[in-house]
């Protein structure tokens, strides 16, 4: 089927075809022509369903919905396909690939250091703790721990916990600070409630993703251990 015959199909038939392609193939189609790009980059429920069905078909265990405010295209790119730092746009290898759902960004270690600010430093810069309490953050002390994934697989973490050394994405903090300062007293209360609800929803999704990752890691470790024991006994 050539491009012209593909473009002559109805939206319903085109959607049915796309639902049976992999997300990587869908991304490839978006660069074929402007019509397909507009069709597949849309954020309508119709198009989101295409990407969701493609994702579940390709990654059969991935039934978790994206966080509120994140489209399927961004979710798939961050979780499965992305290999460029969000900041410097350089390619990152697997060992340096840090996906931060809290910030909805994929970045390398140097950019993480440059683009985030600690909780204590933000307080010293007169950013209200009340504001920081409703913004996402990560415990940066865990990032460079080579045993982090193994140990965390056996730990139960509390969603929304700041950890020992919480860091915030600096530009997001100051954007939120400007929004906060532009409001009056009652509006600020509603704004804080809304932001906290968004963070709670994000925490819920992150918790689901992390629980799944831990389960997969524990299963892999158990299989490896069983295989090692069987090989030892055979010898």
State the pLDDT confidence band at 159, using cuts at 50, 70 and 90: very low
pTM: 0.71
Per-residue pLDDT tens over the stretch 42-61: 989 999 999 999 998 888 66
Query: Is 57 in the same domain as 165?
Result: no
Task: Provide the residue range defining the domain that includes 48.
Answer: 1-70
Q: What is the DSSP string of 203-221?
A: HHHHHHHHHHHHHHHHHHH
Is 138 in the same domain as 211? yes
pLDDT confidence of 127, banded at 50, 70, 90? very high
Whether 200 maps to a domain, the answer reads yes
Shared-domain flag, residues 56 and 138: no
State how many domains the chain has. Answer: 2
Residue 85 within any structural domain of the chain:
no
What's the whole-number mean pLDDT along residues 24-36? 89
pLDDT in the model for residue 152: 43
Instruction: Give yes or no: residues 124 and 223 share one domain.
Output: yes
In a domain, 95, yes or no: no
Residue 94 lies inside a defined structural domain of this protein: no
Q: Residues 117, 44: one domain?
A: no
Mean pLDDT of the chain: 82
Q: Around 79, how many Cα atoms within 13 Å sit in the side-chain half-sphere?
A: 25
Higher pLDDT, 105 or 234: 105
Q: Is residue 158 scored above 50 in pLDDT?
A: no
Alpha helices in 20-135 (DSSP H): 23-29, 34-41, 45-58, 72-76, 109-115, 119-124, 129-132
Task: Write the pLDDT tens digit of every residue in 54-104.
Answer: 998 888 666 778 877 789 998 888 888 888 888 999 887 766 667 788 888
Q: What are the start-end ranges of the H helices in the chain? A: 3-7, 11-19, 23-29, 34-41, 45-58, 72-76, 109-115, 119-124, 129-132, 148-152, 170-181, 185-234
Nearest one of 84, 10, 18 to 51, comparing CA atoms: 18
- pLDDT of amino acid 154: 37
| DSSP run (H or E) holding 139 | strand 138-139
CA distances in angstroms from 111 to 39, 47, 92, 169, listed in the order given? 33, 33, 11, 11
The pLDDT value given to residue 95: 61
Contact 130, 192 (CB under 8 A): yes
pLDDT by residue (tens digit) across 181-234?
999 888 999 999 999 988 888 888 878 877 777 777 777 778 778 777 777 777
């Amino acid at each position: 089927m050539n491009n012209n015959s593909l473009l002559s199909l109805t939206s319903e038939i085109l959607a049915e075809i796309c639902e049976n392609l992999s997300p990587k193939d869908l991304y490839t189609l978006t660069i074929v022509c402007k019509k397909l790009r507009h069709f597949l980059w849309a954020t309508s429920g119709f198009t989101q369903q295409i990407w969701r069905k493609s994702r579940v078909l390709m990654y059969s265990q991935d039934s978790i919905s994206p966080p509120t405010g994140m489209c399927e295209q961004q979710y798939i790119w961050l979780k499965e396909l992305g290999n460029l730092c969000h900041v410097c746009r350089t390619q990152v290898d697997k060992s340096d690939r840090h996906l931060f759902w809290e910030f909805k960004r994929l970045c390398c270690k140097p950019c993480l250091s440059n683009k985030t600010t600690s909780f204590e430093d933000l307080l010293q810069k007169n950013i209200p703790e009340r504001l920081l309490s409703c913004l996402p953050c990560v415990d940066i002390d865990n990032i460079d721990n080579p045993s982090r994934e193994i140990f965390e697989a056996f730990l139960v973490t509390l969603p929304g916990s700041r950890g020992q050394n919480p860091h915030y994405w600096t530009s997001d903090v100051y954007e939120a600070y400007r929004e906060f300062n532009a409001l009056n007293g009652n509006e600020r209360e509603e704004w804080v409630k809304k932001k906290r609800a968004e963070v709670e929803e994000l925490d819920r999704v992150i918790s689901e993703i992390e629980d799944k990752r831990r389960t997969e890691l524990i299963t892999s470790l158990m299989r490896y251990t069983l295989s090692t024991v069987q090989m030892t006994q055979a010898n």
